[in-house]
Amino acid sequence: MIALFTIFELEQLSDSLLDHLHHILSRLLITTEANSADRRNILATLENVEIVLGLKPVRKSGIIGYEIEYSKNLNPSHQHSLVF
């Protein structure tokens, strides 16, 4: 079974490793069966890789969704602000 990589785990990798992982997973994807656990894990990991690389915008999920916006204009003691 192919493991799912979380965004936290992927953020620890360099961009070149993320590119390599994306390439390998894209090739593995075509070998999986429709609706299999491996296919779901690969698709989720590919989406996470694209988010970490900044290739795909993060989806907001309505009322409970939020994103962290970093601003250079904020006071250094305030690292981020939440947008609901």
- pLDDT at 7 (0 to 100): 94
Residue 42 near residue 2, CB atoms below 8 Å = yes
Parent domain of 51: 7-59
What's the pTM value of the predicted model, to 2 decimals?
0.66
Q: Count up the domains in the chain and report the number.
A: 1
Cα 42 to the center of its chain, rounded Å: 12
Whether residue 66 lies inside any domain: the answer is: no
Whether residue 1 lies inside any domain: the answer is: no
- 41-47 long-range contacts (CB < 8 A, ≥24 apart) are 41/1, 41/2, 41/3, 41/4, 42/2, 44/4, 45/2, 45/4, 45/5, 45/10, 45/21, 46/22
Residue 4 near residue 43, CB atoms below 8 Å = no
- Which residues of the chain have a pLDDT value below 70? 58-84
- pLDDT at 58 (0 to 100): 67
